Structure 1
Amino acid sequence: MKPLFFALPCFLLATSIRADDAVLKSEFIYDSGPYPQIHATTIVETSKGDMVSAWFGGTHEKNPDVCIWVSRLVDGKWTESVEVANGVQPDGKRHPTWNPVLFQPKDAPLMLFYKVGEDPQKWWGELRTSEDGGKTWSAARKLPEGILGPIKNKPVQLADGTIICPTSTESVAKPSLWRAHFEVSKDLGKTWTIVKPPAEPAIDAIQPSILDLGGGKLMSLGRSKHKKLFQVFSEDLGATWGPMGLTELPNPNSGTDAVTLKDGRHLLIYNHTPSGRSPLNIAVSKDGKTWEGALILENEPKKEFSYPAIIQTSDGLVHATYTWQRKKVKHVVIDPAKLTAKPIVNGEWPK
Structure 2
Amino acid sequence: MKKNIFLFTFVTLLILSSCRSYQPVLLTSSQIFKEGQVSFKQCHASTIQSIGKDSLIASWFGGTHESNPDVVIWASRYLNGKWETPIQVADGALDEKQYPTWNPVLYQHPQSDTLYLYYKIGPNPREWKGYVKYSLDKGNTWSTAKALPAGVLGPIKNKPITLDNGIILSPSSTESKDEIWKAHIEISKDRGTTWSIVEINHESPVQVIQPSILQHKDRKIQVLCRSKENKVMSSFSNDHGKTWQPWQATNLLNPNAATDAIRLKNGQFMIVYNPDLAGKDWWEGRTKLRVALSKDGLKWNDALILEDGQTGDEYSYPTIIQDPQGLIHITYTWNRKSIKHIVLK
Q: TM-score scaled to structure 2, two decimals?
A: 0.89
Indicate whether 1:203 and 2:206 are aligned. yes
In structure 1, distance between residues paired with 2:126 and 2:268: 35
Q: In the alignment, which of 25, 30, 38 is matched to residue 28 of structure 2?
A: 25
- Cα distance, 1:49 vs structure 2: 5.9
Contact 2:227–2:256 under 8 Å retained in 1: yes
Indicate whether 1:50 and 2:58 are aligned. no
Contact 2:182–2:200 under 8 Å retained in 1: no
Q: Deviations over 1:126-177 (max 9, x none)?
A: 000110111011111100010000000000001111111000000011xx10
Indicate whether 1:291 and 2:300 are aligned. yes
- Cα distance, 1:214 vs structure 2: 1.5
In structure 1, distance between residues paired with 2:41 and 2:189: 39
Structure 2 equivalent of residue 153 of structure 1: 158
Q: Secondary structure of the residue that 2:216 maps to in structure 1?
A: strand
| AA partner of residue 107 (structure 1) | Q
Contact 1:223–1:255 under 8 Å retained in 2: yes
- Cα distance, 1:307 vs structure 2: 0.3
| AA partner of residue 334 (structure 1) | L
Indicate whether 1:125 and 2:135 are aligned. no
Q: What is the CA RMSD across the aligned residues, in angstroms?
A: 1.4
Indicate whether 1:99 and 2:109 are aligned. no
- Cα distance, 1:254 vs structure 2: 0.7
In structure 2, distance between residues paired with 1:140 and 1:322: 25
Structure 2 equivalent of residue 60 of structure 1: 65
Structure 2 residues not aligned, in runs of 5+:
1-21, 279-284
Q: In the alignment, which of 164, 171, 175 is matched to residue 166 of structure 1?
A: 171
Structure 2 equivalent of residue 279 of structure 1: 288
| AA partner of residue 331 (structure 2) | T
Indicate whether 1:330 and 2:340 are aligned. yes
| AA partner of residue 239 (structure 1) | K
Q: Secondary structure of the residue that 2:77 maps to in structure 1?
A: strand
Structure 2 equivalent of residue 16 of structure 1: none
Structure 2 equivalent of residue 38 of structure 1: 43
Contact 1:45–1:104 under 8 Å retained in 2: no
Q: Deviations over 1:152-207 (max 9, x none)?
A: 0000001111111000000011xx10001100011121100001123333211000
Q: How many pairs were matched up?
A: 314
Q: Deviations over 1:6-56 (max 9, x none)?
A: xxxxxxxxxxxxx99810000000122110000001001125663100000
Larger Rg: 2
Which consecutive aligned stretches of 4+ in structure 1 deviate over 3 angstroms post-superposition?
Answer: none
Contact 1:185–1:192 under 8 Å retained in 2: yes
Contact 1:217–1:237 under 8 Å retained in 2: yes
Using a 3 Å threshold, how does the CA distance of structure 1 residues 21 and 319 change in structure 2: closer, same or farther?
closer
Using a 3 Å threshold, how does the CA distance of structure 1 residues 286 and 141 change in structure 2: closer, same or farther?
same
- Cα distance, 1:286 vs structure 2: 1.1
Percent identical residues:
48
In structure 2, distance between residues paired with 1:267 and 1:317: 13
In structure 2, distance between residues paired with 1:102 and 1:172: 27
Structure 1 residues not aligned, in runs of 5+:
1-18, 336-351
Q: Secondary structure of the residue that 1:46 maps to in structure 2?
A: strand
- Cα distance, 1:245 vs structure 2: 2.5
| AA partner of residue 206 (structure 2) | I
| AA partner of residue 311 (structure 1) | I
Contact 2:211–2:225 under 8 Å retained in 1: yes
Contact 1:103–1:155 under 8 Å retained in 2: yes
Q: TM-score scaled to structure 1, two decimals?
A: 0.87
Contact 2:314–2:333 under 8 Å retained in 1: yes
In structure 2, distance between residues paired with 1:118 and 1:248: 35
Structure 1 equivalent of residue 184 of structure 2: 181
Contact 2:158–2:211 under 8 Å retained in 1: yes
